[in-house]
């Protein structure tokens, strides 16, 4: 759950003005440490957010565990996708701070049989998250293959699917509460990367999050996807407000680090800060060249002037 400024941990406050449809209260929790130190080459002291980097998309010349180790050495938190093909003990031994991971291995939110598979694999994922001390587990409307395409594409989401998704997410929120974790429902774009994915638009994920109304189910608001599918990013951020559990970023076009495309991320950073958000901002994008230089550009975009 993201931290907000102006309150001590354990206090409750209303959504910032203009920061969402719903005036419900949410509990303020401390931001997770970045793990940075004086020996790290990239300092985080002037940044109000916890900056994280997807190890799936940078330092591709390194074995996966070494990617995580390098991200950690540079002072960033790490994020991973599926845990099923990874050495969890080796990842834990890196000492990295993990902020999110994929919270299922198969299943979806629309088909009755697949829903049970989703719930079963979510329970397995929660156990892995505990081994990594990872607070958040990421979800999509359906599983994605290695090309990012939906395993179970849906041409039209009907009312029954909406009800099934809401009931399933309520169960996942209860699982998160029992385990002390937060499930994050990520928006995706269907125009370029993920055609046929149900509940892909940010407005869809927000509607589901608000319908469930649990602090253990939040949005993973991916601004790369939202720019392609919806745009108007600052108003989207303000409208989503306390439903946001994480912000993910990459530039458009190309899905590379901030500063390589059309999104003015310094303005995004200021808008997040002004509404009180100090939680995780994760880079889920490719490096346009050298990975370390890409991380430096990411850091610079979220350093407030």
Which residues are designated catalytic?
186, 284
Torsion of CA 66, 68, 71, 72, to 10 degrees: -100
CA angle 42, 270, 191 (to 5 degrees): 90
Contacts of 2 (CB under 8 A, 6+ apart): 29, 31, 218, 244, 245, 246, 277, 278, 279, 280
CA distances from 288 to 60, 224, 263, 302 (A): 12, 15, 15, 18
């Amino acid at each position: 759950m993201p931290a907000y400024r102006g309150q001590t941990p354990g206090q409750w406050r209303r959504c910032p003005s203009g920061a969402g449809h719903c005036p419900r209260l949410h509990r303020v929790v401390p931001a997770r440490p970045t793990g940075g130190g004086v020996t790290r080459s990239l300092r985080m002291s002037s940044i109000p957010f916890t900056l994280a980097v997807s190890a799936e998309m940078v330092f591709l010349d390194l074995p996966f565990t070494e990617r995580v180790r390098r991200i950690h050495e540079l002072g960033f938190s790490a994020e991973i996708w599926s845990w099923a093909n990874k050495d969890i003990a080796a990842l834990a031994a890196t000492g990295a701070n993990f902020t999110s991971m994929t919270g299922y291995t198969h299943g979806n939110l629309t088909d009755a049989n697949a829903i049970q598979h989703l719930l079963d694999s979510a329970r397995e994922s929660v156990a892995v998250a505990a081994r990594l001390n990872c607070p958040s587990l990421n979800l999509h409307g359906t599983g994605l293959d290695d090309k990012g395409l939906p395993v179970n594409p849906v041409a039209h989401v009907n009312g029954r699917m909406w009800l099934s998704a809401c009931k399933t997410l309520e169960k996942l929120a209860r699982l998160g509460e029992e385990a002390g974790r937060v499930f994050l429902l990520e928006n995706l774009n269907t125009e370029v990367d993920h055609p046929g994915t149900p509940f892909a638009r940010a407005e869809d994920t927000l509607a589901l999050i608000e319908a469930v109304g649990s602090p253990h189910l939040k949005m993973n608001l991916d601004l790369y996807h939202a720019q392609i599918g919806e745009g108007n990013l600052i108003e989207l951020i303000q409208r989503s407000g306390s439903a946001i559990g994480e912000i993910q970023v990459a530039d458009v076009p190309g899905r590379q680090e901030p500063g390589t495309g059309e999104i003015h991320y310094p303005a995004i950073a200021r808008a997040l800060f002004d509404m009180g958000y100090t939680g995780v901002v994760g880079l889920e994008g490719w490096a346009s060249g050298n990975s370390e230089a890409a991380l430096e550009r990411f850091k610079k975009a979220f350093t407030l002037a």
